[in-house]
């Protein structure tokens, strides 16, 4: 209890007014965000599952120092009824300590975990970006883990590069040929020659599967789930449908934003349209966010520019997107979730949650020091 006050009023002792320790009624982006134990929430690059009246926040557990940029602990989960106050549900997918060669061994990279629930199997399915220990960012695979209960434990099922042997819907015949430059070079953000199509990275990786780094999951109204991942040396995003059990790619995907080096994908649906938020490709350093809209998840996607407006908008308020949360019971209410990375002391990374506004067919995100769900207007309906 923060304080317990007995009020004496006209000779009548009223019930004590109790305020639960640390109880929050607003979001304060960028500040330390204590959980129910008073510890700064440790769920970076996270996403949220809304399940049976509670929100479940899954993210990367980071430790102090630069070593915290690698997975030393695993995927952490928190739950909340109101989005302001979070209960620590523990580490739901631990790294493997006993086997240094395991995919998810201590020191591997487990980034941007997202969990969705499959209505048919009742299973909770987690996808994340996996880099095997010591490979830098060259593994570029997707890892999958499954649980019977939302808070785990999650059982690791394996990793792969998605869509091996499958061409995307929008491939052109000339792109099916591996250009020599793609076969012999690797690329990092912004490092592509003028015409990225010439590289045909998609052809280079056709057989072994497509590179998958920053990623997210999205479940559409009809129950179809999609995996969005930064592919082709981060130059191009893929949107890939999952099988009915959500455990694997269904073999149906599309390339979007070719050569635009977009990562940190987040997606949501509003009034029948799909909105995308992502970032440019500058590692832990913030850059200007990107946004786009489409009438079909398969595109065409129309870029809408940087949705972050006002002071510091050019650097997305020193953050990078990770998820967009649809607030339960408030149609049209969406929260941008970003990470303010602290690569020198990873555990101290901060969370930038801000309301999304729809304006003139665009989306906008404006800085707010301290805000609550009241900004979305109207009363909450359950
Ligand atoms: C960022 C990416 C992060 C992490 C980082 C490593 O671009 O969004 O998830 O991979 O690079 O430098």
Q: What is the pLDDT of residue 358?
A: 97
Ligand 1 proximity of 60 Cβ (cutoff 6 Å):
no
Neighbours of 187 (CB within 10 A): 18
CB of 263 closer than 6 angstroms to any ligand 1 atom: yes
Q: Is the bond preceding 153 in cis, omega lying within 30 degrees of 0? A: yes
Q: Is 339 in the pocket of ligand 1 (CB under 6 A)?
A: no
pLDDT of amino acid 22: 64
Q: Which two tokens stand for residue 93?
A: 């997918």
Hey, whose CA ends up nearest to atom 8 of ligand 1?
264
For the CA of 112, the closest atom of ligand 1 is 9
State how far the alpha carbon of 307 is from the alpha carbons of 107, 264, 289, in Å: 35, 14, 7
Burial class of residue 138 in the structure, from the number of CB atoms within 10 Å of its CB (0-12 exposed, 13-18 middle, 19+ buried): exposed
User: Distance, CA 43 to ligand 1 centroid (Å)?
Assistant: 15
Greater model confidence, 44 or 259: 44
Ligand 1 atom, smallest distance to 213 CA: 10
Range with the poorest average pLDDT among 40-54, 87-101, 178-192, 204-218? 178-192
**Cβ within 8 Å of residue 180, ≥6 positions away:** none
Beta strands at 290-294 and 249-256: parallel, antiparallel or unpaired: unpaired
Q: Confidence class of residue 206 from pLDDT cuts 50, 70 and 90? A: very high
> Average pLDDT in the 23-50 region?
98
Distance 234 CA to ligand 1 centre (A): 11
- Which residue's alpha carbon is at the smallest distance from atom 5 of ligand 1? 283
Q: Residue whose CA is closest, atom 1 of ligand 1?
A: 283
Task: Give the residue among 220, 110, 236, 237 at the shortest CA–CA distance from 228.
Answer: 237
Query: For 260-296, how does the pLDDT look when each residue is reduced to its tens digit (9 = 90+)?
Result: 999 999 999 999 999 999 999 999 999 999 999 999 9
284 lines ligand 1 (CB under 6 A): yes
On the CB side of 30, CA atoms within 13 Å amount to: 10
Give the per-residue pLDDT at 191. 57
Give percent of the chain above pLDDT 90: 84
Q: Which atom of ligand 1 is nearest to the CA of 230?
A: 8
Tell the residue nearest (CA) to atom 11 of ligand 1: 283
The number of residues in the chain equals 382
How many A from CA of 78 to the centre of ligand 1? Answer: 22
> Would the pTM count as exceeding 0.75?
yes
The predicted pLDDT at position 199 comes to 74
Residue 51: its pLDDT value, please? Answer: 98
> CA-CA distance, 300 to 303, in Å (whole number)?
10
Q: How confident is the model at residue 188 (pLDDT cuts 50, 70, 90)?
A: low
- Fill in the DSSP letter of residue 203: H
The answer, yes or no, to whether residue 189 has pLDDT greater than 80, is: no
Q: Is the CB of 364 under 6 A from ligand 1?
A: no
202: enclosing H helix or E strand: helix 201-204
Q: Which atom of ligand 1 is nearest to the CA of 264?
A: 8
pLDDT confidence band for 186 (50 / 70 / 90): low
In the prediction, which pLDDT does 192 show? 61
Domain architecture of the chain: domains with CATH: 1-160 (2.115.10.20)
Q: Is 264 in the pocket of ligand 1 (CB under 6 A)?
A: yes
Residue 7 has pLDDT above 50, yes or no: no
* pLDDT tens profile 77-107: 999 999 999 999 999 999 999 999 999 999 9
Rounded CA Rg of the chain: 21
Q: What is the pLDDT of residue 42?
A: 98
CA distances in angstroms from 152 to 125, 148, 343, listed in the order given: 10, 7, 28
112 lines ligand 1 (CB under 6 A): yes
For ligand 1, atom 12, the nearest C-alpha belongs to 283
Q: Which residue has the higher pLDDT, 41 or 2?
A: 41
Residue 131 Cβ inside 6 Å of ligand 1? The answer reads: no
Question: The tokens of 145 are what?
Answer: 């883990």
> What pLDDT, on a 0 to 100 scale, did the predictor assign at position 18?
42
Least confident of 41-45, 199-203, 299-303: 199-203
The pLDDT of residue 352 is above 50? yes
Query: What mean pLDDT is predicted for residues 180-208?
Result: 70
pLDDT tens-digit readout, 223-263: 999 999 999 999 999 999 999 999 999 999 999 999 899 99
Q: How much is the pLDDT for 361? A: 87
What is the pLDDT of the chain when averaged over all its residues? 91
Compute the distance from residue 283 Cα to the ligand 1 centre, in Å. Answer: 5
pLDDT of amino acid 184: 58
- State how far the Cα of 124 lies from the Cα of 139, in Å rounded to an integer: 25
Query: How far apart are the CA of 33 and the centre of ligand 1, in A?
Result: 22
């Amino acid at each position: 209890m923060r304080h317990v006050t007995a009020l004496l009023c006209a000779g009548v002792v009223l019930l004590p007014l109790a305020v639960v320790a640390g109880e929050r009624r607003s979001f304060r982006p960028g500040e330390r965000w204590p959980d129910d134990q008073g510890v700064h929430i440790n769920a970076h690059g996270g996403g949220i599952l809304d399940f049976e009246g509670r929100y479940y926040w899954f993210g990367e557990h980071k430790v102090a120092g630069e070593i915290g940029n690698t997975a030393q602990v695993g995927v952490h989960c928190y739950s909340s009824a109101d989005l302001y106050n979070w209960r620590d549900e523990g580490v739901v997918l631990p790294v493997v300590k006993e086997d240094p060669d395991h995919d998810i061994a201590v020191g591997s990279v487990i980034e941007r975990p997202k969990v969705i629930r499959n209505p048919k199997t009742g299973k909770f399915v987690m996808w994340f970006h996996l880099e095997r220990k010591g490979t830098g960012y060259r593994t570029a695979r997707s890892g999958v883990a499954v649980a019977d209960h939302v808070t785990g434990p999650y059982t690791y099922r394996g990793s792969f590069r998605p869509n091996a042997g499958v061409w995307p819907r929008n491939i052109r015949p000339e792109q099916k040929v591996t250009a020599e430059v793609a076969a012999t070079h690797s690329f990092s953000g912004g490092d592509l020659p003028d015409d990225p199509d010439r590289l045909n990275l998609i052809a280079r990786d056709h057989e072994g599967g497509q590179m998958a780094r920053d990623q997210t999951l999205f479940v559409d109204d009809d129950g179809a789930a999609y995996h969005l991942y930064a592919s082709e040396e981060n130059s191009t995003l893929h949107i890939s449908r999952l099988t009915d059990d959500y455990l694997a790619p269904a073999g149906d995907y599309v390339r979007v934003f070719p050569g635009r080096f977009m990562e940190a994908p987040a997606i949501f649906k509003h009034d029948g349209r799909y909105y995308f938020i992502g970032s440019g490709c500058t590692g832990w350093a913030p850059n200007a966010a990107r946004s786009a809209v489409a009438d079909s998840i398969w595109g065409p996607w129309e870029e809408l520019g940087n949705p972050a407006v006002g002071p510091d908008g050019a650097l997305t308020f020193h953050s990078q997107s990770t998820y967009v949360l649809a607030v339960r019971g408030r149609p049209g209410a969406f929260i941008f979730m970003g990470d303010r990375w602290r690569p020198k002391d990873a555990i101290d990374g901060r969370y930038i949650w801000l309301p999304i506004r729809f304006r003139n067919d665009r989306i906008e995100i404006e800085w707010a020091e301290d805000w609550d769900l009241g900004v979305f207007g109207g009363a909450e309906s359950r």
